[in-house]
Chains A and B, each alone.
Chain A
């Protein structure tokens, strides 16, 4: 059971906008720690999608955006494409555990 909670699945049709959440607590996101997002295509290694909660690495389309509020973070994808179908993981730091922690992952299905 991860300290960062992600919905197991989300879905959307091509062209639509989808969002996925990463819910934490006062010992991680709520303590001011930033959130990282990774995209993991089937059978491949995770790929950095968003760092410091809202920053996109070069090469990541601006269809992807991140946000952070009190104890949670969100990843939004606009103009959904078939190639976006993947697992998405959030990551932060938890002071109670004393470790980097990952969410359980959200599987995005493009209908």
Chain B
């Protein structure tokens, strides 16, 4: 069955760029239907969609983060990545990757999810 696993530094300095990779196993990323997304959750708070990418490289992002977000895909490695620039303490969160089931649809859903990785921003 499909599994996703986030990886990357757990600590990033303020004003620098957060970089995470999600490795997909148990299936291919190259289905035309699916997108692949990132969602984050600050400690003790709710969920926030960051953005999603299609295997073709097409992306769409949360407008509130768009200016700082880059999402890319490497189908040869079955991976997709997130870069978030100019981070502040407000970007401290657990970052999840997930399959965006009907990505092109606005009210799509995420399933399955990776286990998440905590990224802390230090000053």
Seen from chain A, the residues whose Cβ lies within 8 Å of a Cβ on chain B are: 2, 33-36, 38, 44-48, 51-52, 57, 89, 91-93, 97-105
Known contacts being A99-B62, A99-B63, A102-B46, is A33 close to B107, with CB within 8 Å?
yes
Known contacts being A2-B46, A97-B63, A102-B49, is A46 close to B96, with CB within 8 Å?
yes
Chain B 97-110 interface 0/1 with A at a Cβ cutoff of 8 Å (1 = within):
00001000011111
The stretch from B16-24, B82-90, B113-121 touching chain A is B113-121
Known contacts being A45-B115, A46-B96, A99-B49, is A92 close to B107, with CB within 8 Å?
yes
| Contact pick for B110, options A44, A48, A105, CB 8 Å | A48
Q: Provide the bound-state CA to CA distance between A98 and B116, in Å.
A: 25
Contact B106 A48 (CB under 8 A): no
Identify 15 new A-B residue pairs, CB closer than 8 A, beyond the known A38-B110, A97-B64: A2-B46, A33-B107, A36-B107, A45-B114, A45-B115, A46-B96, A47-B113, A51-B111, A52-B109, A57-B111, A91-B107, A93-B106, A97-B63, A99-B63, A99-B64
What's the dominant secondary structure at chain B's contact region? Answer: loop
Return 29 A-B CB contacts under 8 Å, by A number: A33-B107, A34-B107, A36-B110, A44-B115, A45-B96, A45-B113, A46-B96, A46-B110, A46-B113, A47-B111, A48-B111, A48-B112, A51-B109, A51-B111, A52-B107, A52-B109, A89-B46, A93-B107, A97-B63, A97-B64, A99-B49, A99-B62, A99-B63, A100-B62, A100-B107, A101-B49, A102-B47, A105-B46, A105-B47
A103 contacts across to B, CB distance below 8 A: 46
Task: Tell me, yes or no, whether B48 is within 8 Å of chain A by CB.
Answer: yes
| Contact pick for A100, options B49, B101, B115, CB 8 Å | B49
**Whose C-beta in chain B lies nearest to the C-beta of A97?**
B63
Seen from chain B, the residues whose Cβ lies within 8 Å of a Cβ on chain A are: 39, 46-49, 62-64, 96, 101, 106-116
A98 contacts across to B, CB distance below 8 A: 63
**Whose C-beta in chain B lies nearest to the C-beta of A45?**
B113
Q: Provide the bound-state CA to CA distance between A103 and B64, in Å.
A: 16
B108 contacts across to A, CB distance below 8 A: 100
**Whose C-beta in chain A lies nearest to the C-beta of B113?**
A45
A48 contacts across to B, CB distance below 8 A: 109-112
